[in-house]
Amino acid sequence: MGKPRQTITAAARRIEREFEEPLRDVIAGYAEMGYSRRLVAETLEVSFESLKHYNRRENIRFCRSPIEHREIKGRPPRMIRQNGREQSLGAWADELGLSKEGVRQRIRRTGRPTRGH
């Protein structure tokens, strides 16, 4: 058994600094991308129960068929195009030396996976 996870309120400042946006927007962004609450709790390193309560309080809705379940069923990855090149999120992450989440954040902020034009 790993170390106990922080509550979402205890981790809020850390998360907001890391993502450079309000906690509600971070969690809602994951929900919009199709992530499950359990995966978001693991990613943000917070307890599942505290995230669940936060979602209820803030009225954040999560998909009934989370992305990790859809990928297991063999759905092809979403391709991301920039400058005539098309790759999956994982391929962009590998090429740029970033995590997949780092590429997602960059796309959310700039609209593209790389810094170039």
C-alpha span between 12 and 14 (Å, rounded) = 6
pTM metric for this prediction: 0.54
Residue 105 reports pLDDT greater than 90: no
* Exposure class string for 55-89: b at 16+ Cβ within 10 A, else e: beeeebebeeebbeeeeeeeeeeeebeeeeeebeb
- The number of C-alpha atoms within 13 Å of 29 and in the hemisphere containing its C-beta is 18
Cβ 25 vs Cβ 54: under 8 Å: no
| DSSP percent split of the chain into helix, strand, coil, nearest 5 | 55, 10, 35
Residue 26 has a pLDDT of 92
- In whole angstroms, what is the distance from residue 26 CA to residue 48 CA? 16
The pLDDT tens digits for 11-33 are: 999 999 988 899 999 999 888 88
pLDDT in tens, 17-75: 988 899 999 999 888 888 888 888 988 999 999 999 999 999 998 876 655 554 545 55
